[in-house]
Amino acid sequence: GAVVSQHPSRVICKSGTSVKIECRSLDFQATTMFWYRQFPKQSLMLMATSNEGSKATYEQGVEKDKFLINHASLTLSTLTVTSAHPEDSSFYICSAKGGLAGLSSNEQFFGPGTRLTVL
Protein backbone atom coordinates (compact mmCIF):
# COMPACT_ATOMS: atom_id res chain seq x y z
CA GLY A 1 0.00 0.00 0.00
CA ALA A 2 0.92 3.64 -0.25
CA VAL A 3 2.64 5.40 2.63
CA VAL A 4 2.10 8.98 3.68
CA SER A 5 4.27 10.55 6.35
CA GLN A 6 3.84 13.71 8.38
CA HIS A 7 6.34 15.76 10.30
CA PRO A 8 6.36 16.68 13.08
CA SER A 9 4.12 14.19 14.84
CA ARG A 10 3.66 16.51 17.78
CA VAL A 11 4.37 20.20 18.29
CA ILE A 12 3.86 22.60 21.14
CA CYS A 13 4.23 26.29 20.44
CA LYS A 14 3.53 29.67 21.96
CA SER A 15 0.58 31.75 20.91
CA GLY A 16 1.44 34.02 17.99
CA THR A 17 4.06 31.79 16.43
CA SER A 18 3.79 29.96 13.12
CA VAL A 19 4.02 26.21 12.71
CA LYS A 20 4.79 24.30 9.54
CA ILE A 21 3.58 20.74 9.04
CA GLU A 22 4.94 18.59 6.22
CA CYS A 23 3.08 15.83 4.44
CA ARG A 24 4.99 13.49 2.17
CA SER A 25 3.94 10.63 -0.05
CA LEU A 26 6.82 8.19 0.31
CA ASP A 27 6.36 5.66 -2.43
CA PHE A 28 4.03 7.31 -4.90
CA GLN A 29 3.40 10.67 -6.48
CA ALA A 30 0.37 12.57 -5.30
CA THR A 31 -0.84 15.40 -7.47
CA THR A 32 -3.54 16.06 -4.92
CA MET A 33 -3.31 15.99 -1.16
CA PHE A 34 -5.89 16.93 1.45
CA TRP A 35 -5.63 18.56 4.83
CA TYR A 36 -8.06 17.68 7.60
CA ARG A 37 -8.46 18.89 11.15
CA GLN A 38 -9.88 16.78 13.93
CA PHE A 39 -10.80 17.97 17.40
CA PRO A 40 -10.91 15.41 20.24
CA LYS A 41 -13.74 12.91 19.93
CA GLN A 42 -14.97 14.65 16.80
CA SER A 43 -15.02 13.94 13.11
CA LEU A 44 -12.50 14.86 10.46
CA MET A 45 -13.17 18.20 8.84
CA LEU A 46 -11.71 18.82 5.41
CA MET A 47 -9.82 22.10 5.43
CA ALA A 48 -8.43 22.29 1.93
CA THR A 49 -7.39 20.44 -1.16
CA SER A 50 -3.76 20.89 -2.08
CA ASN A 51 -2.89 20.73 -5.76
CA GLU A 52 0.66 20.39 -7.01
CA GLY A 53 1.75 23.48 -8.86
CA SER A 54 -1.38 25.50 -8.20
CA LYS A 55 -3.26 27.23 -5.43
CA ALA A 56 -5.03 25.21 -2.80
CA THR A 57 -8.81 25.03 -2.70
CA TYR A 58 -10.13 25.91 0.73
CA GLU A 59 -13.37 24.75 2.26
CA GLN A 60 -15.92 27.28 3.40
CA GLY A 61 -15.00 28.88 6.69
CA VAL A 62 -11.29 28.06 6.50
CA GLU A 63 -9.09 31.15 6.43
CA LYS A 64 -6.60 30.77 3.61
CA ASP A 65 -4.36 33.49 5.02
CA LYS A 66 -4.13 31.69 8.33
CA PHE A 67 -3.65 28.19 6.99
CA LEU A 68 -1.10 28.49 4.21
CA ILE A 69 -0.77 25.49 1.95
CA ASN A 70 2.04 24.88 -0.46
CA HIS A 71 2.30 21.86 -2.72
CA ALA A 72 5.73 22.33 -4.17
CA SER A 73 6.29 18.87 -5.57
CA LEU A 74 4.46 15.66 -6.35
CA THR A 75 5.49 14.20 -3.00
CA LEU A 76 5.32 17.14 -0.61
CA SER A 77 2.60 19.42 0.68
CA THR A 78 3.03 21.77 3.62
CA LEU A 79 0.49 23.39 5.91
CA THR A 80 1.61 26.46 7.84
CA VAL A 81 -0.55 27.62 10.70
CA THR A 82 0.27 31.30 10.97
CA SER A 83 -0.01 33.28 14.21
CA ALA A 84 -1.32 30.23 16.01
CA HIS A 85 -3.73 30.63 18.89
CA PRO A 86 -4.94 28.13 21.50
CA GLU A 87 -8.14 27.52 19.54
CA ASP A 88 -5.97 26.19 16.69
CA SER A 89 -4.87 23.33 18.91
CA SER A 90 -6.00 20.22 17.10
CA PHE A 91 -4.98 17.05 15.29
CA TYR A 92 -4.03 17.89 11.71
CA ILE A 93 -4.07 15.02 9.23
CA CYS A 94 -3.10 14.98 5.60
CA SER A 95 -4.09 12.44 3.02
CA ALA A 96 -3.38 11.61 -0.57
CA LYS A 97 -5.67 9.92 -2.98
CA GLY A 98 -4.91 6.89 -5.04
CA GLY A 99 -5.53 6.53 -8.72
CA LEU A 100 -1.85 6.49 -9.54
CA ALA A 101 0.62 3.67 -9.91
CA GLY A 102 -2.08 1.04 -9.66
CA LEU A 103 -3.53 2.34 -6.43
CA SER A 104 -7.30 2.35 -6.13
CA SER A 105 -8.74 5.77 -6.84
CA ASN A 106 -11.42 5.07 -4.26
CA GLU A 107 -8.99 5.05 -1.40
CA GLN A 108 -7.41 7.82 0.59
CA PHE A 109 -4.10 7.23 2.29
CA PHE A 110 -3.77 9.16 5.51
CA GLY A 111 -0.65 10.40 7.21
CA PRO A 112 -0.17 9.66 10.91
CA GLY A 113 -1.28 13.14 11.91
CA THR A 114 0.30 16.06 13.74
CA ARG A 115 -0.94 17.03 17.16
CA LEU A 116 -0.61 20.79 17.59
CA THR A 117 -0.86 22.37 21.02
CA VAL A 118 -0.76 26.14 21.22
CA LEU A 119 -0.07 27.55 24.67
Partner 1 sequence: GQSLEQPSEVTAVEGAIVQINCTYQTSGFYGLSWYQQHDGGAPTFLSYNGLDGLEETGRFSSFLSRSDSYGYLLLQELQMKDSASYFCAVREGTNAGKSTFGDGTTLTVKP
Q: Which is nearer to partner 1, 14 or 41 (CB)?
A: 41
Q: Are 34 and 71 in contact (CB under 8 A)?
A: no
| Shortest distance in whole angstroms from residue 57 CB to partner 1 | 9
Q: Kindly state whether residue 95 participates in binding partner 1, applying the rule CB under 8 A.
A: yes
Region from 18-26, 36-44, 63-71, 74-82 binding partner 1, contact rule CB under 8 A: 36-44
Distance in angstroms (rounded) separating the CA atoms of residues 77 and 34: 9
Q: Kindly state whether residue 54 participates in binding partner 1, applying the rule CB under 8 A.
A: no
DSSP 8-state secondary structure symbol assigned to residue 42: S
**In this chain, which of 52, 58, 76, 99 binds partner 1, going by CB under 8 A?**
99
How buried is 89 (Cβ within 10 angstroms: 0-12 exposed, 13-18 middle, 19+ buried)? middle
Give bridge partners of residue 78 from the DSSP assignment: 22, 70
Q: Are 36 and 23 in contact (CB under 8 A)?
A: no
Q: Which is nearer to partner 1, 22 or 107 (CB)?
A: 107
**In this chain, which of 13, 45, 74, 76 binds partner 1, going by CB under 8 A?**
45
| Shortest distance in whole angstroms from residue 110 CB to partner 1 | 4
With a CB cutoff of 8 Å and minimum separation 6, the contacts of 102 are none
Residues that bind partner 1 (CB under 8 A): 32-34, 42-46, 49, 93, 95-99, 104-113
